[in-house]
Amino acid sequence: MVGVVTAGRLAAFARPGFPVFFAGHLASQLGSAMTPLALAFTALDISGSLSDLSLVMASRILPVVLMLPIGGVLGDRLPRRALMMAADCLRASALALLAVLCATGRLELWSLVALTVLSGAGEAFFRPAYEGTAPLLVPRDALPDANALLGLAFSAATIAGPALSGALVALGSPAWGLSAAAGAYLLTVLLLFFLPPVDARGTGPASSYLSDLRYGWREFTARPWVCTLTAYGALFNLLVWGPYLVLGPASADREYGGAGDWGAVMALYGVGAVCGGLLVLGRRPAGPLVVAVACGFATVAPPAALAFTAPLPVVCAAAALAGVGIAVNMSLWMTTVQHHVPLDSLSRVNSYVTMGAFVGGPVGMALAGPVAESVGVVGVLGFAAVFQLLLCATVLALPAVRAVRWETAPASASSADRATQKPEPPAPPEPPALPQQNPPARPARDSLPRQGPPLRPDPTPPRDPGQSPNHRPSRDPQ
Q: What is the pLDDT of residue 181?
A: 92
Stronger pLDDT, 129 or 319, i.e. the higher one: 319
Of the pLDDT bands very low, low, confident and very high (cuts 50, 70, 90), residue 401 is confident
Model confidence over 89-136: pLDDT tens digits?
A: 999 999 999 999 988 888 888 889 999 999 888 888 888 888 778 778
Q: What is the pLDDT of residue 359?
A: 79
Model confidence over 140-182: pLDDT tens digits?
A: 777 777 877 887 787 788 778 877 888 888 888 889 999 999 9
Does 261 score more than 50 pLDDT?
A: yes
Average per-residue pLDDT for the chain: 78
Report residue 312: phi and psi, to 5°.
Answer: -55, -40
Q: What is the pLDDT of residue 76?
A: 73
Q: What is the pLDDT of residue 463?
A: 53
Q: What is the Cα gyration radius of the chain?
A: 34
CA distances from 280 to 195, 263, 274, 275, 327 (A): 27, 26, 10, 9, 8
Q: What is the pLDDT of residue 317?
A: 94
Stronger pLDDT, 335 or 320, i.e. the higher one: 320
Q: What is the pLDDT of residue 314?
A: 93
> Can you tell me the distance from the alpha carbon of 363 to that of 366, in angstroms, rounded to the nearest whole number?
5
Q: What is the pLDDT of residue 201?
A: 52
What is residue 283's three-state secondary structure?
strand
What is the rounded average pLDDT of the residues 222-249? 89
Quick one: what percent of the chain has pLDDT higher than 90? 19
Q: What is the pLDDT of residue 425?
A: 46
Does 472 score more than 60 pLDDT?
A: no
The type of residue at 394 is T
Q: Tell me which residue of 98, 114, 122, 105 sits closest to 56, measured CA to CA.
A: 114
Report residue 231: phi and psi, to 5°.
Answer: -65, -40
- The DSSP code sequence of 436-454 is -PPPPP---GGGS---SSP
- For the entire predicted model, the pTM comes to 0.63
Q: Which of 83-92, 210-219, 433-442 has the lowest mean pLDDT?
A: 433-442
Q: What is the pLDDT of residue 416?
A: 42
What is the rounded average pLDDT of the residues 456-466? 51
Question: At what angle are helices 259-280 and 242-255 packed, to 10 degrees?
Answer: 140
